[in-house]
Structure 1
Amino acid sequence: MRRWLRYLLVLALAVVLAAGGYVAYVAIRSAQPVTLPAPTGPYPVGRATVEWTDSARVDPLAPQPGTPRRLSAWLWYPAAPGPSPTPAAYAPDAWAGLHLSWPVGLAETGFDHVHAHAFDDAPVAEGRFPIAVLEPGMGFAAPQYTALAESLASNGYLVVGVTPTYSANLTVLGGAPVSTTEAGNPKAFDGADEHAGQAQAAGDRLIDVWAADDRFAAVEADAGRFAGHVDATKVVYLGHSFGGAAALEACRTDQRCVGAADLDGTQYGPVVHTGLTKPMLLVASENSCITGTCQPTTASDRSSLDTARTLVAASSGPTWCYQLNGAEHFNFSDYGAYYIAAPVRSQLALGAIDGDDALSITNAYLAAFVRQVTSGCPEPLLAGRATPYPQVVVQHTP
């Protein structure tokens, strides 16, 4: 009996030591620097943050009735070469609250250690640049798509990252954090299969607000310090998840729109049945149904599949559909670039693909699409079914 007690004591001690060692390892890793994938274009990148109030709209998502719609926007843009300005902090001040909740956030790269490539308030480069409005997924915020935004800006676009107030888990207005409301982020979006029909109805209601945010941001961007530097006749709407659905709907209702891209977002709203007359890019994670091609296993999958097939069939503009194998839903955000401890990472929608590779491939297809629709010149990456990336499956091209 005493021998068994000794064995149990030794085993318990080994478990405690192993757990302590792993905690120490996680603490060291989360404090190590992480650099986001480098922008691919010829321009250095500037970054500015602004707040806008749309006085023409009463915010239906706000907790106080009669409140005008207020938005925080991050602007990434082609910067003029010159003396090196101040590097932009990844998530400054109250934006640091975007971290995963404590204590889980301790297993994630500290935002002070995430190095981006933009510079704070750098001078704008000479020239006129098309607008690319970028909207995050449900619960996410614009800063969490820095890798995509910086790469597009370096290629000669004013990228307007809009954080949807009361739908994002956190936005910052007037220096203070603002969280979600039930109207802005309905419980029907919790991912439960039995809520598929409720999620569709809630999404159809909410999509008008997000699409209006996109259009308002495109108008506001052509003002202030960017006046004279913006080609406002060429607007591209881009987004991830619900932001991708909003991008399609915003494009449908904006005559200036020259194309829209949806990254792994189930589609909602009138655009599903009317389709787009403008070019459309749909990029899916490995098991996603948002391009109209998948093997559905749940009611939610079947609903997304039917929706996507309806959209593609109704659209008269050229459509490109791709699948990124090894990717899951969060791989289209900066989450793929962070270090996240294995027990936490396994609970997030991050696939087996290298996180930097997923972002770099997504950047390549976004840049090619935006160049083609704004310039009218064919891009080799979008031609036919050939692809230089083994992780990419070409599902449909014009």
Structure 2
Amino acid sequence: MRLRRAAHLALVAALTGSVLSVLPSSATATDTPEIAHYSSQVVNDGADVYYPAGVQGELPVALLMQGAKVHRMYYAAYARAVAAYGFVVVVPNHKRLVFFDSNYYPSQKMPAEAIGWMADENVDASSPLAGHIDTDTLVLLGHSFGGAAALGVAEESCGIPFCTTLGYSLPDEVKAASLYGTNNKSPLFGTSASMDNQIPVQLVQGTVDGAALPADAETSYAKLENGPKQIVRVGGANHYGITDVQSPAGAEAESSAQTLSQAASIATSARWAALFLKAQLGDAAAADYVYSTGDAADPGVTVTSATS
């Protein structure tokens, strides 16, 4: 097992006027920095990029791997919420052919493409992020199909339809993953295989998800062989708890109604994702929240973790 962990993220106070370590569950817009946005291109994929305005120093990049058939525009609020914790969030539209269907389907080559984008963007004088990207650090956000692809990245395995080459190597820059509405249950065999994950993995699961069932997330969490790992159960959230709207146009419809407001499910999921990822990058305050105080402080979630 080659679990890779980084310990080098230190956000400068100038980012928000003070170091933004933990936004409490009651945080309002006045507690968060202004988030800037621009359009970019990651190889052949159009992409949206979100980052804290007025950034100084270097920030890690979070690659958001979309759900099947979900256009990147539907992740705007979630991406902004994660970016507020001190990330550059990149959301590509990765369109390709899967089983005779050409649509938005993330693949395991996306992290390597994002790493190339990071290096190019950091030295592009015309980019608002020139000189502000930590090119050694990439973390993954995933939703549904994109989360399943990210699980293949995490365990350094290769399987159709997420990986179409003979093998897969986990890039050194990829440090951790937070995945929403995700499991590794085989649609053919109905079972979940053990996962020798090489990086920390967090599963964020809505308790009323009608597409990626909560029981399957629990099984997949148990199948992750290595810590740090965590499962966060968001009460009242369904499969589209992190998208701007329920059942985004073009995507498969959700059969289970969400009882939590969209704003609340996005804020809660983004908070736990961002702080878990920051914890893996060496942020002590974030680690204290996700492993010690957050579960009790956030009545909307229940959390199970293993740190080793």
TM-score by length of 1: 0.55
1:394 partnered with 2:291: no
Determine the structure 2 residue equivalent to 1:182.
100
CA RMSD of aligned residues (A): 3.5
Percent identity between matched residues is: 20
The aligned residue for residue 40 of structure 2 is: 50
Deviation sequence 1:62-109 (CA, Å, 0-9, x none):
xxxxxxxx21111111221xxxxxxxxxxxxxxxxxxxxxxxxxxxxx
Secondary structure of residue in 2 paired with 1:393: strand
What corresponds to 1:372 in structure 2? 279
CA distance in 2, matches of 1:290, 1:383: 28
Gap change, CA 1:352 and 1:289, over 3 Å in 2: closer
C-alpha displacement of 1:39: 5.7
Aligned counterpart in structure 1 of residue 199 of structure 2, from 272, 278, 285: 278
SS at match of 2:240: helix
Over residues 178-231 of structure 1, what are the superposed CA-to-partner deviations in whole Å (9 max), with x where a residue is unaligned?
Answer: xx9834459xxxxxxxxxxxxxxxxxxx7xx61212331232133222342111
Counterparts of 1:1-398 in structure 2, within 5 Å, are 42-53=32-43, 70-80=44-54, 125-166=55-96, 182-184=100-102, 210-222=107-119, 223=121, 224=124, 225=127, 226-251=129-154, 252=156, 253-267=170-184, 273-287=194-208, 294=215, 304=216, 309=219, 312-335=222-245, 349-379=256-286, 380-384=288-292, 386-398=295-307
Amino acid at match of 1:255: D
> Which segment drifts farther, 39-48 or 252-261?
39-48
Shift of 1:129: 0.5
Asked if structure 2 preserves the Cα contact closer than 8 Å seen for 1:320 and 1:397, the reply is: yes
Separation (CA, whole Å) in 2 of partners of 1:278 and 1:312: 15
Q: Amino acid of the residue matched to residue 381 of structure 1?
A: Y
Task: Tell me the distance in 1 between the aligned counterparts of 2:49 and 2:241.
Answer: 22
1:312 touches 1:319 (CA, 8 Å); kept in 2? no
Q: State the aligned residue count.
A: 251
Q: Which runs of 5+ in 2 are unaligned?
A: 1-26, 157-169, 187-191
Q: Larger Rg: 1 or 2? A: 1
Is the Cα contact below 8 Å between 1:285 and 1:329 reproduced in 2? yes
**Cα gap change, 1:397/1:286 in structure 2, threshold over 3 Å: closer, same or farther?**
same
**Taking CA–CA contacts closer than 8 Å with sequence separation of 6 or more, which of the two structures ends up with the larger relative contact order?**
2
Offset of 1:146 from its aligned partner?
A: 1.0
Aligned equivalents of 2:82, 2:50: Cα separation in 1: 8
**Offset of 1:373 from its aligned partner?**
1.5
* TM-score (normalizing by structure 2): 0.70
State the Cα distance separating 1:139 from its structure 2 match.
Answer: 0.7
- Which protein has the bigger helix share? 1
1:255 and 1:373, CA in 2 relative to 1: closer, same or farther beyond 3 A? same
Q: Where in structure 1 are there 5+ consecutive unaligned residues?
A: 1-36, 54-69, 81-124, 168-179, 187-205, 295-303, 339-345
Q: Which whole-Å CA distance do the structure 2 matches of 1:290 and 1:395 have between them?
A: 22
- Residues 201 and 228 in structure 2, CA contact (< 8 A), matched pair in contact too: yes
Query: Hey, what's the Cα distance between the residues in 2 that align with 1:181 and 1:211?
Result: 16
Q: Equivalents in 1 of 2:198, 2:242: separation in Å?
A: 26
Q: 1:52 to 1:280 in 2, by over 3 A?
A: closer
Contact 2:39 2:49 in 1 (8 A): yes
Query: After the TM superposition, which parts of structure 1 deviate over 6 Å for at least 4 consecutive aligned residues?
Result: 289-293
Contact 2:144/2:212 (CA < 8 Å) preserved in 1?
A: no
Q: Tell me if the contact between 1:236 and 1:260 (Cα under 8 Å) persists in the aligned partners.
A: yes
